[in-house]
Amino acid sequence: MNRRRSRSSVDAQAVLETALVIPILLLLVCNFIALMVQVTVQQQMDAAVALAAESRFQAPNQAFDPAGARCCPDPRCCGVSSTGASLTTGGIPTGCRYAAETFYGTMQSYEKLLRWKTGPLCVTGGDSAGSAALGGAIPYAQSPANANVTCDVGSIGPDGVNHRGFLDHAFNPPRGLYSVTCDATARIDFSQTPLAWGVLWTPTIHAHAEALPPPFRQ
């Protein structure tokens, strides 16, 4: 009687061990894969903001989008139809739209995985000495507020007003140098993937890039 009980307790122990080890093993693997995905997405976002900031310089300094201009997502940047979330870019520097088109076009691969923290597309006047968000930059009056990327862009408006870009004191100290910065923030949402059961965290990733004007524009 005792021997039978001892054997069944050994069997139960083995089943218990297996029941414990297998989920832990799968949990570890799922989280490792999720970490690899996070690294990859971060790198893609870094590339997207870097190209976006550089794209601004392909537009003339004085160019502003006419009323009714739209972008992102749309057929020109992303090969998909415009949606209700597409950005209205009329009245803001064309360079901002270029930056947005570059960013949205580059970040298409992970669209289903990311939950964006939206903000103004186009801001002006940040300062690296400022402690506020984006160095205290303020949105252009007609900037859309629901963009996945925010770029600090200087320009000369149609009324002749000089909107300053981001003043970075790390360059040409102590006066600083005006540059273009782009920022994007998103949460990686694994709930739509097979990793959902094992990955219980939603990491937030952020990318920041700064581009200096080419020498002939400085």
DSSP 14-66: HHHHHHHHHHHHHHHHHHHHHHHHHHHHHHHHHHHHHHHHHHGGGS-TT-BPP
Q: What is the dihedral of CA 54, 60, 66, 72, to 10 degrees?
A: -10
Residue 71 Cα to chain centre, angstroms: 17
- Closest alpha carbon to 141 in 158, 120, 127: 120
Indicate which single residue of 64, 87, 101, 139 sits in contact with other proteins (rule: CB under 8 A). Answer: 101
- Can you tell me which of 64, 96, 106, 127 binds other proteins, judged by CB under 8 A? 106
- Under rule CB under 8 A, residue 196 binds other proteins: no
**Residue 8, interface with other proteins (CB under 8 A)?**
no
Residues in the chain, overall count: 218
Task: Supply the DSSP symbol for 127.
Answer: B
Residue 98 binds other proteins, judged by CB under 8 A: yes
The least distance separating other proteins from the CB of residue 55, rounded to whole angstroms, comes to 4
Q: Quick one: tokens of 168?
A: 């970075």
As a whole number of angstroms, the distance between CA 92 and CA 132 comes to: 23
Q: Contact between 113 and other proteins (CB under 8 A)?
A: no
Residue 149 CB, nearest distance to other proteins (Å)? 13
Work out whether 183 is an interface residue with other proteins (CB under 8 A): no
Which one of the spans 31-39, 112-120, 164-172, 197-205 is the region binding other proteins (CB under 8 A)? 31-39
Judged by the rule CB under 8 A, the positions of this chain that interact with other proteins are 3, 7, 10-11, 14, 18, 21-22, 25-26, 28-29, 32-33, 36-37, 39-40, 43-44, 47-48, 50-51, 54-55, 57-59, 63, 66-69, 76-77, 94, 98, 101-102, 105-106, 108-109
